[in-house]
Amino acid sequence: MERQEVVSRLVQSGAVGIIRVQENEDLVRIAHALQAGGLKCVEITMNSVGALHAIEKARRDLPDIIMGAGTVLDGATARHAILAGAEFIVTPTVEPDVIEMAHRYGVVIIPGAMSPTEILTAWELGVDMVKVFPADVLGPAYLKAIHGPLSQIPLAPTGGITANNAGEFIKAGAAIVSAGGWLVNKKAIIEGRYEEITKRAQQLIQAVKEARGESGE
């Protein structure tokens, strides 16, 4: 899939589900549960056990999902993730070598940044959107203030996103929101209640749709 098409599908979806767990057998099951809830974009963090294998398997089993790799800290890890099938790369910080590697392979890159200077610096390095992190600490008001002078930059707030606050971030100017800990609830995974993850995915998508003024159907 072309880079711009991936960006378009991310924005159209409005939400990314972040999977970060310790047991590799959980990863693909969680991705299935998120898809069942209507999420079309999923990020598996590279500090999860078996992340590369899970990305490969999820790409085979869930061809309609846009699959990304998160917590990518260096260019070498980015390359491994891309070769495993990652269609977008997410970092917690602005890492020029990761951005360069993503560009080399024509893959969407979403670096993490907090300050206006970091956000603009990342944009000038040619990224596709910027992950504003940690979103729960900064809040929707901060995102709105950043979005004003930097409205040309698609922002993806991440960190502490739930169905209760996702809409506020969308209204503040977020292109998409990314949810992890609340969405992929550890207790539900331990207890094997994957239907809870599906339910939360549905709630997240509904919150985004309502904030955008879209139909809930």
43 is catalytic: yes
Instruction: Judge contact between 208 and 190, C-beta under 8 A.
Output: no
Selecting among 43, 87, 95, 168, the annotated active-site residue is: 43
Name the burial class of residue 118, with classes exposed (0-12), middle (13-18) and buried (19+) by CB atoms within 10 angstroms of its CB. middle
Rounded Cα distance, 193 and 3, in Å: 35
Rounded Cα distance, 217 and 212, in Å: 13
Selecting among 95, 131, 168, 209, the annotated active-site residue is: 131
User: Max alpha carbon distance in the chain (Å)?
Assistant: 46
Nearest 5°: phi and psi at 58?
Answer: -65, -35
Sign of the CA dihedral running 42, 45, 49, 51: positive
Name the burial class of residue 121, with classes exposed (0-12), middle (13-18) and buried (19+) by CB atoms within 10 angstroms of its CB. middle
**What residues act catalytically?**
43, 131
